[in-house]
């Protein structure tokens, strides 16, 4: 049987490291181990969490090393290991009871090189509620392109599994702000097989206030701009059909807005202004049908990935959040092309690329 290890980088704050390690330790999967890596100083908070972690079976702690940054620290630990497969988990993710992460990832990596673990957003308030649907839209798009092509040029790197051989060949993550999407693009260029599956879903904390959301959005938008500028030309050159496939995978972000706006506009106009009669009525009915069909599909995918769905919050997501998401992503691309990156709460470069607290 192939061996597998989950690597959890910890920097400054332990966050969910102790509970995450406990959940992984509880899964008695043969050939598995959890590695908690302290990147830099062991702060009092980290030391307290490590007291709980050290008592767990099949859990190993690495500490006493200088601060290298997530990318370098992770690669150093993985390169020194001999596991066949690895799982990388940010320490702000969590597992639900009953999720067998080692078993699920091991099974998926038998026929794939890279696995994105679906993320269900966790948080309170309207901002978090909207991000839950954004996460769902992202994983729907990922599911569409990976099922169609067996590959995917992007991923949310808060939680993913990968064959150690591929991770080492690609020299791990790059010490840049978009380390996750960068790695996925490089993996695709290397011919890696990609998939995602609800059996390995994790919970991922998201911002709950507009201020926290804005800080994160700046990073994500800038990362999107860097990814599109760096890799889209390479991907298009290697795979001429990639633009079509990516357009297909982008539908989950556009459809909520388009179908909801269409239904709203048709409701305001009414059949009379469309010529009345059967023709005008059919146009209005068709617009509402499109809204209901895609909303129902979105609801189905929410259930498939174990998430809740509410029609009212879905409409707010479609009419308010989707346009904001589209504008921020566009501005991120322009800022990169114009070399005018916004001020970010992030340090990145050759040796440091961690979020500041």
> Cβ distance 187 to 114 under 8 Å?
yes
Q: How far is CA 52 from the centre of its chain?
A: 28
With respect to residue 218, please indicate whether it lies within any of the assigned structural domains. no
In a domain, 236, yes or no: no
Q: Is the pLDDT of residue 98 over 60?
A: yes
Residues 140 and 260 in one domain: no
Q: Are residues 276 and 332 in the same domain?
A: yes
Helices 210-238 and 179-189, packing angle to 10 deg: 20
- Best mean pLDDT range from 38-42, 215-219, 283-287: 38-42
What is the pTM assigned to this prediction? 0.89
Report the pLDDT value the prediction gives residue 218, as an integer from 0 to 100: 83
- Quickly state the pLDDT bin for 348 (edges 50, 70, 90): very low
* Tokens at 237, concatenated: 């050159």
Host domain of residue 191: 4-209
Q: Do 148 and 47 lie in a common domain?
A: yes
Examine the domain organization and report whether 181 and 322 are in the same domain. no
Tell me how far CA of residue 195 lies from CA of 84, 129, 298, in angstroms. Answer: 18, 26, 20
Burial class (CB in 10 A: 0-12, 13-18, 19+), 153: buried
- 57-70 core/surface letters (b: 16 or more CB in 10 A; e: else): ebbbbbeeeeebbb
Query: At residue 333, does pLDDT exceed 50?
Result: yes
Query: Could you report the per-residue pLDDT of 11-20, keeping only the tens digit for each?
Result: 999 999 999 9
Judge whether 53 lies within some domain. yes
What is the Cα–Cα distance from 153 to 139, expressed in whole angstroms?
Answer: 13
Cα 100 to Cα 29, 82, 111, 275, 306, distances in angstroms: 9, 22, 18, 58, 15
- Provide the pLDDT for residue 170: 96
In a domain, 160, yes or no: yes
Q: What is the mean pLDDT of residues 32-61?
A: 95
Residue 344 lies in a domain: no
Q: How far is CA 228 from the centre of its chain?
A: 16
Residues 42 and 172 grouped into a single domain: yes
**54 and 99 both lie in a single domain:** yes
Kindly state the percentage of the chain with pLDDT values over 90. Answer: 68
Residue 342 vs residue 289, higher pLDDT: 289
**Parallel/antiparallel/unpaired status of strands 159-163 and 59-65:** unpaired
- How far out from the chain centre does Cα 62 lie? 26
The 10s digit of each residue's pLDDT in 174-219 is 988 889 999 999 999 999 999 999 999 999 999 999 999 988 888 8
The answer to whether position 349 is within a domain reads: no
Q: Is the pLDDT of residue 357 over 50?
A: no
Residue 345: per-residue pLDDT? 54
261 in the same domain as 188: no
d(CA 254, CA 305): 20
The confidence score (pLDDT) of residue 343 equals 65
- Tally of domains in the chain: 2
């Amino acid at each position: 049987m192939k061996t597998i290890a989950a690597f959890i980088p910890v920097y400054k704050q332990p966050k969910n490291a102790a509970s995450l390690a406990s959940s992984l330790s509880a899964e008695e999967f043969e050939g598995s181990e959890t590695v908690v890596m302290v990147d830099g100083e062991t702060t009092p908070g980290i030391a307290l969490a490590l007291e709980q972690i050290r008592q767990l079976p099949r859990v190993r702690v690495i500490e006493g090393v200088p601060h290298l940054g997530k990318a370098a620290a992770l690669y150093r630990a993985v390169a020194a290991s001999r596991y066949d497969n690895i799982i990388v988990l940010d320490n702000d993710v969590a597992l639900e009871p009953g999720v067998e992460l080692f078993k699920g990832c091991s099974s998926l990596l038998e026929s794939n090189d890279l696995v994105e673990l679906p993320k269900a957003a966790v948080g309170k308030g309207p901002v978090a509620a909207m991000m839950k649907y954004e996460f769902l839209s992202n994983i729907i798009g990922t599911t569409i392109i990976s099922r169609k092509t067996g590959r995917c040029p992007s991923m949310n790197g808060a939680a993913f599994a990968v064959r150690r051989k591929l991770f080492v060949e690609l020299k791990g993550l790059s010490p840049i702000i978009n380390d996750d999407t960068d790695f996925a693009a490089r993996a695709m260029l290397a011919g890696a097989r990609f998939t995602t599956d609800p059996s390995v879903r994790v919970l991922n904390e998201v911002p709950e206030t507009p201020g926290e959301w804005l800080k994160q959005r700046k990073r994500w938008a800038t990362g999107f701009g860097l990814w599109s500028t760096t890799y889209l030309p390479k991907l298009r050159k290697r795979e001429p059909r990639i633009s079509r496939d990516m357009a297909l995978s982008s539908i989950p972000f556009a459809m909520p807005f388009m179908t909801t706006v269409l239904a709203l506009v048709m409701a305001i106009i009414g059949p009379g202004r469309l010529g009345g009669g059967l023709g005008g009525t059919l146009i209005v009915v068709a617009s509402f049908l499109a809204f209901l069909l895609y909303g129902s599909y979105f609801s189905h995918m929410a259930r498939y990935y174990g998430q809740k769905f509410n029609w009212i919050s879905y409409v707010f997501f479609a009419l308010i959040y989707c346009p904001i998401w589209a504008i921020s992503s566009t501005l991120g691309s322009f800022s990169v092309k114009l070399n005018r990156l916004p001020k970010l709460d992030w340090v990145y470069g050759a040796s440091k690329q961690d979020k500041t607290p």
